[in-house]
Amino acid sequence: MPNLLDIRRRIKSVKNTQQITKAMKMVSAAKLKRAQDRVVTARPFANKMIEVLGGLADRTDENFHHPLLDARGDERYLLVLVTADKGLCGAFNTNLIKAAQTFIRDNPGKQIDILAVGRKGRDFFRRRGASLAGEYIGVTGKGRVDFSEALEVARDVIKRFTEDEEIDKVFVIYNEFKSVLQQRVGHRATFAGCAHNVQRLGTGKHESTLDSG
């Protein structure tokens, strides 16, 4: 049976642990606030860019041709799935993977290649023998994504689309930040003049943004 001195040492140890945990919470809250501010600040510019590019695509002359704007067939898709590298984040990854599964199920007969950005999505579809066109691991697992890393992925997608004329459409499935407790699953068609065409469907706390193509 522990004596009084052992009990006092245990109490002191628990209090020290509480202080350390409190400090860690404060640091995490500050990091989250900075990340949230960056997302909220950048969003109006991103939305306006999509609006402007969509407007330009709609207003191009029928005789104007560009690899990213010319309409193609409807047989082969490239699906860019953006998930996290790590878990322990609630339904963050689960909803993204479910959206990808729904997309594949809703497009029977299509050849769908998956470009996985994030370990969770890559591992899930690799275990099920899905066709993986490529992968980017370590981009989303360090707390922030640098512009150079996002640019590398974007250039890879553009290169695949422009060099492989058999790819008819490119779709991106991602999480759009709404609040700390709520994410919106986004599903957006890019290129071929349909980057601005977005239809949103609600799925409880997580909204599913699905594009009819």
The pLDDT-based confidence of 208 (bands split at 50, 70, 90) is very low
More confident residue, 124 or 51: 124
Which of 59, 77, 92 terminates a domain? The answer is: 59
Shared domain check, 120 and 98? yes
More confident residue, 104 or 58: 104
Residue 204 is predicted with a pLDDT of 33
Residue 1 is predicted with a pLDDT of 62
Contacts of 43 (CB under 8 A, 6+ apart): none
Q: Is the dihedral of CA 133, 139, 144, 145 positive or negative?
A: negative
Query: Per the residue annotation, which of 40, 89, 137, 201 is the catalytic one?
Result: 89
Residue 192 is predicted with a pLDDT of 54
Shared domain check, 34 and 106? no
Rounded CA gap, 20 and 33, in Å? 20
Taking only the tens place, the pLDDT of each residue in 10-69 is: 889 999 999 999 999 898 888 888 878 888 888 898 888 878 877 777 777 777 777 877
Q: Is the pLDDT of residue 146 over 90?
A: no
Q: Is the pLDDT of residue 142 over 80?
A: no
Burial of 63 (0-12, 13-18, 19+ CB in 10 A): exposed
Structure tokens at 5: 């001195």
For the chain, how many structural domains are there in total? 2
Residue 205 is predicted with a pLDDT of 36
Shared domain check, 75 and 49? no
Rounded CA gap, 173 and 156, in Å? 16
Contacts of 180 (CB under 8 A, 6+ apart): 32, 36
Q: Cβ(89)–Cβ(177) under 8 Å? A: no
Q: Is 194 a catalytic residue?
A: no
Q: Is the pLDDT of residue 200 over 60?
A: no
Bridge-based pairing state of the strands 111-117 and 132-136: parallel
Q: Is the pLDDT of residue 129 over 90?
A: no
Between 117-131, 164-178, 189-203, the lowest mean confidence (pLDDT) is in 189-203
What average pLDDT does the structure give for the chain? 81
Rounded CA gap, 53 and 197, in Å? 11
Residue 61 is predicted with a pLDDT of 76
Shared domain check, 186 and 95? yes
Shared domain check, 104 and 50? no
Q: Is the dihedral of CA 25, 36, 205, 140 positive or negative?
A: negative
Shared domain check, 182 and 144? yes
Shared domain check, 38 and 122? no
The pLDDT-based confidence of 134 (bands split at 50, 70, 90) is very high
The residue range of the domain holding 183 is 66-210
More confident residue, 73 or 155: 155
Shared domain check, 120 and 48? no
Q: How far is CA 123 from the centre of its chain?
A: 15
Rounded CA gap, 174 and 201, in Å? 14
For residue 155, give Cα distances in angstroms to 12, 161, 196. 55, 10, 19
